[in-house]
Structure 1
Amino acid sequence: MADEPTSRSTPDTDAGGLGPADRAEAWRRLGSETFDVVVVGGGVVGAGAALDAATRGLRVALVEARDLASGTSSRSSKLFHGGLRYLEQLEFGLVREALRERELMLTRLAPHLVKPVSFLYPLRHRVWERPYTAAGLFLYDSMGGARSVPGQKHLTRAGALRLIPSLKRDALIGGIRYYDAQADDARHTMTVARTAAHYGAVVRTSTQVVDFLHEADRVTGVRVRDAEGGESVDVRAGVVINCTGVWTDELQRASGSRGRFRVRASKGVHIVVPRDRIVAEDTGLILRTEKSVLFVIPWRNHWIVGTTDTDWNLDLAHPAATKKDIDYILDHVNSVLATPLTHDDIEGVYAGLRPLLAGESEESSKLSREHAVARVAPGLVAIAGGKYTTYRVMAADAVDAAAVDLPGRLRPSITDQVPLLGADGYHALVNQADLLAARHGVHPYRVRHLLDRYGSLVHEVLALAESDPDLLKPVEEAPDYLRAEIVYAASHEGALHLEDALARRTRISIEYPHRGIACAEQVAGLMGGVLGWDEAERKREVEIYLARVEAERDSQTLPGDEAADATRSAAPESRPYLLEPVI
């Protein structure tokens, strides 16, 4: 290894911050140190790989061109699920692996971020469907699906309708309830990255790889460009790990190496509607479609409904939802609802791209969700495929593959024993929520909401209000969030732009019909106080965010991908020195 690692077995409480001072120090370190591993890509696999490598005692840097989770990892169905439908495809290993990872998240690694959620599977056919589905769920439960959540429960039609009264009576003859888990994917990814920084990794966003460093046929690092200021620096490393998801092929071409596998992008669109539009207990719904499945997922005061599954060959950074996508979702969910959803009910829409390993089938829904890892060239490893739930396994496999390019014996992965930041002490704080609320003068409900976003880091968030009590007031026009959360996003969580805070640190951009426009001025003022924005910069941030929302709304009225892509891609970038194509 290049030098003695800076990772900490018992990190201090100041570690793991991604504020302005941390960002400046990270830039200095990128240009002055030699790393064992440089991870490219700040999605959940990249953040997981940085954490995995750092906790093995390696010197690690993680660079991301835009924001943490700005691609696929903030646009998923927000589920940690075992992949029940993969049983039908006989992918038993994938299901078993996913269920083990779900269990780890629920119980040990991230109980503050990952929560159980139940689903109703409506039965439509007599005689054969109940025993067929029950057999699959029994196998699912026995493989780990019922380890820390309830097992399947069979319901009559009347019982299923009591659970979800909004269903049409003729839409089912009965149902089966089962459990999975859910999380705010963007917050989870960001917390994985902060945990990596907590253990000594250099983590820096708005840091774009623009070239690779070589010695003979060996990759020896990357050249990165600061997408905020335009400066460049060479980052030297024993091995580079490509964790860029749908950008995997582009990065491999940029390295001058031929890829060992090919990645295809499949677009998945979700809509968000108010909770009162579908009357139900706290349970979701899973429906079969002709291509895959459709989820109706409880999400605080909302429902997330999705997803689509179509090939995408256009702008990878900004996949656009079309009217056709939205109509597809509405048509399928309305087939079982007594009171149909309409376009007017939609609060938010988001589109993401799944990085699928290309196979023989031309149907993206049948491409493999298994992951692949390969040593593309000496000093360069690539990983792609997989699913959000198994990110930790993917990360460990990627670091294992890097071992051949690192001197000495690589220690085994231990991330199954490393709780994410905020997990330690979380359960005790839940029991003390009323006391914590009284101490800070906020409602206990608000404290419980904060605990499920920050865990034991809630003390850092609330401490911001000691010098400014107004930070404990809600954000105007987005009352689910406190002003302190916006300040914390900029001071501790690496949010550099309005979009980072409104779309990922919070989910204001999809949870309110105004999509963040109504509070953009106030949020820009709160962030600007931390990041040193003058009036011109605050105005620029608001204008760029408003243009983004307008472009997304316009694209969602267009019928086809090409027109929607052209409209969405016309919106300006918030990072002024970002080069295209982004790799």
Structure 2
Amino acid sequence: MPQSSALSPDARDAALRALEAGGDDGELDVLVVGGGIVGTGVALDAVTRGLSTGLVEQRDLASGTSSRSSKLVHGGLRYLEMFDFGLVKEALEERGLLLTRLAPHLVRPVAFLYPLHKAWERPYVGSGLLLYDAMALFGSRAGKYDMGVPKHKHLFRKQVARIAPDLRTDELHGAVRYYDCQVDDARLVMTIARTAAEHGAHVATRTKVVGFLREGERVVGVSAVDLESGRELEIRARVVVNAAGVWTDDIQQMVGGRGSLNVQASKGIHLVVPRDRIRSECGFITKTEKSVLFVIPWGRHWIIGTTDTPWNLDKAHPAASKADIDYLLQQVNTMLREPLDHDDVEGVYAGLRPLARGESEPTSRISREHTVVAPVRGLVMIAGGKLTTYRVMARDAVDAAAASLTSAGSALRASITDRIPLAGAPGFEARTNQRVLLARRIDLHISRIDHLLGRYGSLVDEVLALIGQRPELGQPLEGADDYLAAEVVYAVTHEGARHLDDVLTRRTRISVEMFDRGVASAAPAAALMAAELGWDEARTADEVDHYLRRVEAERQSQLKLTDQEADEARVSAPELAAPEVSRRR
């Protein structure tokens, strides 16, 4: 039977007990290591096939790569140039499913202009986009999903100037407007985790795997540590699925050395600038010498990215250097009438892509296709891929576990996640139609209701119930007017937030959407969290102090010229240990 999807503190405690007990027969069917987009996708796929499922994540949901992407759900237009037609077709199908069936409350269309600098580019780019739309349309007509976005359109210089007054058009031959989709990647991950929990998966963050349990050559579970209490535990499972992304090599070392996957971390950075600094109705996309440049609408902001460079330093906190920021500003300024400078940058974030390593290829040329291997019985490892195709990756990983999960005369049930709407999707359209009534009922401006609907979907009822019980939570969070105080409380009571970082960086985007990087919001948000998590004054002060140190470390790293210097500056603010763990040390 469906359970509550809330990832509350009590739910985490219950999940840890269930993981250690291993269910009715003392072991889970599937244990997933890694709480990013792939790991949560695997947990949802497994549990909806009828498998007892657990998931452990050493930090927070989406705390690695999965909260630091370009936030696009897209087919991968540039992969057409690499003749990777299968990947594009697959990704477009997933885009359609997410937009129209699985997560319509989180995924929405976004328009891009592809500027044409030479006359010959129009037929070249136009033919590529014609194929792109045709692939999407073919999938929709096959009954898999609705296309969900308009088709591309050719524009001439005067039309481009009207749509994007701040785009330099003097040397353009026009542009092509096309559509993809965007999503708050961290919220997507958290919502998938909640959906998995609703169907019975046991989800425990801040739980670090430190070794594997073996019986002969077979992996039968993991040894782990609850980082909130320091308690050690053993979790037994018929299959362990490693979905640790750029930490794949570290996990392979625990199994006795380098395994079948060779994963390379590629760093991509993004800048966030105010929306009023670039007047345009659409985003932009263009190729650079090293990667692809996106200028993506993001609420009252623009996201500008990205870079694509090898990274072999700290994986938990990849740092953006001044050279990275200068490169993006230089690239985007070639397109703009009024150049941007460092003073326009509200926020900066850097993420690592886990890529299957090529022999000599630069990371920008390595395909995002994923790889699944089973190096020893009882262990499945998956790496590569892209956010858009997480569901396919998850399905393939659980399929690969079939040999360990099936017994004589039985078969693993097929994946059904293409028909499982994520939490907040059922009833979303009805709530959207009722937005005016909701605004009147709770006495909030309709723009606030729209904001909440775009983050919670039909789960908006739970947020509004909080405000109904505690009207003061209907006020904007101090220092971040775009968010309500209720959203901080809800992040703790329903979305698994355990630390201030979790709220300001992933449940909201305050850390990159405000010029002060969330400094003014830190103490008010921590006070709201303290009341829900039972923090005393010292613990609350520690959380705020750690966040402020993190912000300063990031600012300092962004003044350094090299990756090495930036990394050294960033890691000067280490992870915050829970008081119980600190006392044990």
What does 1:357-376 correspond to in 2, within 5 Å? 357-376=356-375
Name the residue aligned to 1:77. Answer: 70
How far 1:578 sits from its partner (Å)?
Answer: 11
Name the residue aligned to 2:125. Answer: 133
How far 1:577 sits from its partner (Å)?
Answer: 8.5
Name the residue aligned to 1:557. Answer: 559
Structure 2, unaligned stretches of length 5 or more?
Answer: 141-146
Looking at structure 2, the residues matched to 268 and 258 of structure 1 have their Cα atoms a distance apart, in angstroms, of: 25
How far 1:260 sits from its partner (Å)?
Answer: 1.1
Name the residue aligned to 1:399. Answer: 398
The answer on whether the counterparts of 1:547 and 1:572 sit within 8 Å (CA) in structure 2 is no
Name the residue aligned to 1:54. Answer: 47
Aligned counterpart in structure 1 of residue 474 of structure 2, from 449, 472, 475: 472
Letter in 2 for 1:480: D
Looking at structure 2, the residues matched to 32 and 330 of structure 1 have their Cα atoms a distance apart, in angstroms, of: 53
C-alpha offsets along residues 42-71 of structure 1, whole Å, 9 cap, x if unaligned?
Answer: 000000000000000000000000000000
Name the residue aligned to 1:142. Answer: 134
How far 1:226 sits from its partner (Å)?
Answer: 0.7
Name the residue aligned to 1:499. Answer: 501
Q: What secondary structure sits across from 1:513 in the alignment? A: coil
Looking at structure 2, the residues matched to 457 and 491 of structure 1 have their Cα atoms a distance apart, in angstroms, of: 13
Name the residue aligned to 1:548. Answer: 550
Name the residue aligned to 2:16. Answer: 27
Letter in 1 for 2:154: H
Matched, 1:456 2:454: no
C-alpha offsets along residues 61-84 of structure 1, whole Å, 9 cap, x if unaligned?
Answer: 000000000000000000000000
Looking at structure 1, the residues matched to 45 and 171 of structure 2 have their Cα atoms a distance apart, in angstroms, of: 46
How far 1:228 sits from its partner (Å)?
Answer: 1.2
Aligned counterpart in structure 2 of residue 88 of structure 1, from 56, 81, 89: 81
How far 1:168 sits from its partner (Å)?
Answer: 1.5
The answer on whether the counterparts of 1:474 and 1:481 sit within 8 Å (CA) in structure 2 is yes
Looking at structure 2, the residues matched to 171 and 324 of structure 1 have their Cα atoms a distance apart, in angstroms, of: 28
Structure 1 pair 495/454, CA: closer, same or farther in 2 (3 Å)? same
How far 1:171 sits from its partner (Å)?
Answer: 4.2
Matched, 1:207 2:207: yes
Name the residue aligned to 1:520. Answer: 522
C-alpha offsets along residues 382-421 of structure 1, whole Å, 9 cap, x if unaligned?
Answer: 0000110000000000000011111331100000000000
Letter in 2 for 1:348: G
Aligned pair count reads: 566
Matched, 1:36 2:29: yes
Looking at structure 2, the residues matched to 495 and 163 of structure 1 have their Cα atoms a distance apart, in angstroms, of: 40
Looking at structure 2, the residues matched to 288 and 486 of structure 1 have their Cα atoms a distance apart, in angstroms, of: 39
Q: What secondary structure sits across from 1:563 in the alignment? A: helix
Name the residue aligned to 1:4. Answer: none
Name the residue aligned to 1:251. Answer: 251
Letter in 2 for 1:24: D
Name the residue aligned to 1:387. Answer: 386
The answer on whether the counterparts of 2:20 and 2:235 sit within 8 Å (CA) in structure 1 is yes
The answer on whether the counterparts of 2:442 and 2:468 sit within 8 Å (CA) in structure 1 is no
The answer on whether the counterparts of 1:358 and 1:368 sit within 8 Å (CA) in structure 2 is no
Letter in 1 for 2:134: S
The answer on whether the counterparts of 1:208 and 1:578 sit within 8 Å (CA) in structure 2 is no
The answer on whether the counterparts of 1:171 and 1:336 sit within 8 Å (CA) in structure 2 is no
Looking at structure 2, the residues matched to 362 and 390 of structure 1 have their Cα atoms a distance apart, in angstroms, of: 23
How far 1:450 sits from its partner (Å)?
Answer: 0.2
The answer on whether the counterparts of 1:474 and 1:480 sit within 8 Å (CA) in structure 2 is yes
The answer on whether the counterparts of 1:226 and 1:577 sit within 8 Å (CA) in structure 2 is no
Among all aligned residue pairs of Structure 1 and Structure 2, give the percentage whose two residues are the same amino acid: 60
Name the residue aligned to 1:296. Answer: 295
Name the residue aligned to 1:570. Answer: 572
Name the residue aligned to 2:105. Answer: 112
Name the residue aligned to 2:175. Answer: 175
Letter in 2 for 1:31: E
The answer on whether the counterparts of 2:488 and 2:503 sit within 8 Å (CA) in structure 1 is yes
C-alpha offsets along residues 177-197 of structure 1, whole Å, 9 cap, x if unaligned?
Answer: 000000000000000011000
The answer on whether the counterparts of 2:106 and 2:183 sit within 8 Å (CA) in structure 1 is yes
How far 1:474 sits from its partner (Å)?
Answer: 0.4
Looking at structure 2, the residues matched to 386 and 20 of structure 1 have their Cα atoms a distance apart, in angstroms, of: 32
How far 1:291 sits from its partner (Å)?
Answer: 1.8
Name the residue aligned to 2:95. Answer: 102
Name the residue aligned to 1:326. Answer: 325
Name the residue aligned to 1:5. Answer: none
Looking at structure 2, the residues matched to 171 and 86 of structure 1 have their Cα atoms a distance apart, in angstroms, of: 27
Instruction: Provide TM-score, normalisation by structure 2.
Output: 0.95
Name the residue aligned to 1:3. Answer: none
Structure 1, unaligned stretches of length 5 or more?
Answer: 1-7
Name the residue aligned to 2:143. Answer: none
Looking at structure 2, the residues matched to 310 and 412 of structure 1 have their Cα atoms a distance apart, in angstroms, of: 38
How far 1:361 sits from its partner (Å)?
Answer: 2.7
Name the residue aligned to 1:353. Answer: 352
Looking at structure 1, the residues matched to 260 and 576 of structure 2 have their Cα atoms a distance apart, in angstroms, of: 34
Letter in 2 for 1:117: V
Looking at structure 1, the residues matched to 371 and 216 of structure 2 have their Cα atoms a distance apart, in angstroms, of: 26
**Runs of 4 or more consecutive aligned structure 1 residues displaced over 3 Å after TM superposition:** 575-579
How far 1:467 sits from its partner (Å)?
Answer: 2.6
Name the residue aligned to 2:429. Answer: 427
